[in-house]
Structure 1
Amino acid sequence: MEARNFITAREMVSDDGWLLTTMNGEPRYEKPPLPTWLAAIGGMLFSFKNLIALRVPSAIITLILVLFSYRFGVYFLKDKKQAFINSLILATSFYMVFAGRNGTWDIFAHGFMIIAIYYIFQFFATDEKIWRNALLAGTFIGLSFMSKGPVSHFALFLPFLIAYSIVYKYSNFKRKWLPLVGLIVVTAIISVWWPYYISVMDGETARAIADKETTAWQNRNVRPFYYYWSFFTQSGAWTVVAFVGLLYPYLKTRVENLKAYKFSLFWTLASVILLSVIPEKKSRYLLPVLIPLAYTTSFYLMYVFRSFKEKMNKYERIPVYLNFGLIGLVGVAFPIVGYIFLKDTLTGFYTSFALTSIVLVLVGFFILKYVYQRKIQLAFYAIILFFMSAITFGFPLANSFLENPKYNSLQEISQKAEAEQIPVYMFNIQSPELVWDYGGKVPLLHSHALETPKEDTFKALVMIDAKKSLEKAFPNHKITYVETFDLNPVDDSKGGYKDRLRTDMYLVEKN
């Protein structure tokens, strides 16, 4: 997804195609262009070879998402401390970290939507600043649509409306009908103008892409209804406490704000149920669920902070010991376990490994110490420090896994083609990572609607084991293998190796 986004951003700038977006020269209307515009601006300011610049917009909107989850928490939880705990849980949840460091569309859609929810909650709940809340809510709902269509509307906003209707209900709307109409109008204008422009300028292609996307939602990556039932595991290290936070019969007499707890719980469950209805399912689609889940989890942790030392019995303490203690043990054991797994790949990474080991052992020790002393609130903050340390010092160690002796980039192909005066084509659509690495557009040869190149001699990039298809498409040509390009960061003996990141180059000469 990131490669698709960045390719489109690069072509926006190189072809001045900011509205009729393309990927490798072909129409790319599957996603609205707002996140791609932001990536394009980063590329213009710094360089399209600077991945940090292209990813910064995602990091910024993730930070904004976390900050507004805090502001919204302060508003409906009526407790700044709990809102802060919630924002820390959200910021350190697995898929939130993953989405925040990748230049994809999802985080923008949900980031803008949580801002919209912050304002629309106020619009529903109070008679103050009605027009401000309505217009700002409409604006950010529209910006969410411009980031990834109606995805966040369905997975985050609609569950919010369902939960609000159950817990708080809609009332006192006499003064709000006109502002509500304004909200809808603003949302519609911001959401519809780009799809309308595409339908006018390239309607036939837009309809074909829409039909393909609709079919994909029904037939691609189809999973059973219960596929998402382990959704709480996507919070990563908070899995155990997140699960306990969902146990309404247990917590209903233990939370201080039952109404707010019911709202966050119903919001979470409604989001999971609605996502489960869609046939196409992927784990990363659970990203919006993490937002209300963090609120729900914070209720349990607030109860733990109040009661762990004296009021909770030994059985109630088990989930906390399990969740917090396991993280502490990981920190303390990191030097030994890490060395066992990394000893063959640590050359050049010993300094990073030593720093990571020292920091994680210290933090892990204090986590275990605070758990033993039943100072759970301090243990919680130590876990946050554990995450910060792991990301700061530990992430560079991931490079020790990246070793592929056959790694071969496509970045020099265009220069060689210009020097040799032999053009290069891509036979059939291949993975976007290959196109991104190439550094520009690669002319496509479609086997289903083949247009023979005007040149008698050319080179073709072909997916692995697809030589026969090339020979069938060019029966009157001599086809000679040239070399293989491999973008896999690991060799083919590792589990993460992907054939789609390889492509063979053949010299094609007319007989």
Structure 2
Amino acid sequence: MAQSALREPEGRGRGAAPAAKEYGVNTRVLHYAVLLSVAALLLVTNIDGYDLWPPDEPRFAEVAREMIQSGDFLVPRVNGEPYLEKPPLLFWAIAAASAPFGEVTSVSARLPSIIAALIALLCTYRLASRLMGARVGLWSAIVLMTNVRFAWQGRMGQIDMLLTACLSAAFLAFWRWHETPRRRWLFTFYAAIAMAVYAKGPVGILLPLMLAIAFYWHKRDRRRRLHLFWGMLGIAVAIGAWLIPARMAAATDLGATAGSLVAGNLFRQTVGRFFLGVSHA
């Protein structure tokens, strides 16, 4: 094993966190290779050996199929009717993964979740390595990878693994921004949050925002708190770029107002799921 060395983060600014002990490049490459190989084996084996499982997989695959068939990637649809229950990221990802196959298949419907699981594993490894060293990073990723629910979701054509990957990337970018205040990490943090919202709605904002608020409140770093306002504003613009036109188009089909669709959908998928017993179907 390569000799360990204490390495300071590049461009450390005032108040930056100390670097954890990391191993050499060869060791990290070996860790990446081991993680990706074992994860791919767990996630890919027999992935085409069974049909899409209801209720979610067939429905989400159908939304992607109708997007490809109609050429309308703005409004998700099932049987030609607007499907407003979920944001579009998974449907777009399935449609993109299906392009090489020429059609939506069980493999292409699950491929986005497989890739997202690999991203989540690598982000977990990298974050734990920055905090506590590469050995802890490796074991952290192994524990995550061998978690039954994680491995299960990584093989399913559902939204949850996309959300996990986006949030993992956001947490890693946030810590790197704290270590070395470079704008690319701040941009990555907010871009990952926006992608998380495109994956599964408001929950994609709540978790990283609570993390950032609690962290900066504890650190009493007023200068860095300022970026939260501008970051949230940027996320709102990014989300509105799809949400407003999509709801306006859907409102025309359904004979409703765009505002009522947005409000109803947000309430149903957040408060409704907690308190009103909203069906998952």
In the aligned structure 1, how far is the partner of 2:276 from the partner of 2:159?
Answer: 18
2:79 maps to what in 1? 24
Written as runs of structure 1 = structure 2, the 5 A alignment for 1:95-106 is 95-106=149-160
2:264 maps to what in 1? 211
Root mean square deviation of aligned Cα: 2.8
User: Which one of the candidate residues 181, 206, 219 is aligned to 1:170?
Assistant: 219
CA contact (8 A) 1:119 1:137 kept: yes
In the aligned structure 1, how far is the partner of 2:136 from the partner of 2:168?
Answer: 18
Matched, 1:82 2:136: yes
In the aligned structure 2, how far is the partner of 1:185 from the partner of 1:215?
Answer: 24
Deviations 1:453-503 (A, max 9, x none): xxxxxxxxxxxxxxxxxxxxxxxxxxxxxxxxxxxxxxxxxxxxxxxxxxx
1:150 maps to what in 2? 202
In the aligned structure 2, how far is the partner of 1:8 from the partner of 1:146?
Answer: 15
Written as runs of structure 1 = structure 2, the 5 A alignment for 1:337-376 is none
2:238 maps to what in 1? 190
In the aligned structure 1, how far is the partner of 2:169 from the partner of 2:136?
Answer: 19
Deviations 1:13-61 (A, max 9, x none): 1111100221111101221111111101222220435311221111001
Matched, 1:117 2:171: yes
User: Which one of the candidate residues 19, 33, 56 is aligned to 2:88?
Assistant: 33
Matched, 1:69 2:121: no
2:219 match: secondary structure: coil
CA contact (8 A) 1:30 1:213 kept: no
CA contact (8 A) 1:11 1:23 kept: yes
Written as runs of structure 1 = structure 2, the 5 A alignment for 1:267-346 is 278-279=274-275
CA shift in 2, pair 1:66/1:6, >3 Å? same
CA shift in 2, pair 1:162/1:102, >3 Å? same
1:67 Cα deviation after fit: 0.5
Unmatched tracts of structure 1, length 5 or more: 221-277, 285-430, 432-511
CA contact (8 A) 2:95 2:104 kept: no
CA contact (8 A) 2:248 2:257 kept: no
1:63 Cα deviation after fit: 0.5
Matched, 1:132 2:128: no
Written as runs of structure 1 = structure 2, the 5 A alignment for 1:350-499 is none
CA contact (8 A) 2:116 2:161 kept: yes
CA contact (8 A) 1:135 1:186 kept: no
Amino acid corresponding to residue 187 of structure 1 in structure 2: I
User: Which one of the candidate residues 94, 103, 107 is aligned to 2:148?
Assistant: 94
In the aligned structure 1, how far is the partner of 2:160 from the partner of 2:71?
Answer: 25
In the aligned structure 1, how far is the partner of 2:226 from the partner of 2:85?
Answer: 34
Larger relative CO (CA 8 A, sep 6+): 1 or 2?
Answer: 2
CA contact (8 A) 2:109 2:157 kept: yes
1:190 Cα deviation after fit: 2.2
CA contact (8 A) 1:113 1:140 kept: yes
In the aligned structure 2, how far is the partner of 1:50 from the partner of 1:170?
Answer: 49
In the aligned structure 2, how far is the partner of 1:53 from the partner of 1:100?
Answer: 13
In terms of fraction of residues, the more strand-rich structure is 1
Question: Deviation above 4 Å: which 4+ runs of structure 1?
Answer: 177-182, 215-220
In the aligned structure 1, how far is the partner of 2:226 from the partner of 2:213?
Answer: 22
Deviations 1:288-336 (A, max 9, x none): xxxxxxxxxxxxxxxxxxxxxxxxxxxxxxxxxxxxxxxxxxxxxxxxx
Unmatched tracts of structure 2, length 5 or more: 1-55
Amino acid corresponding to residue 170 of structure 1 in structure 2: K
Rg larger in 1 or in 2? Answer: 1
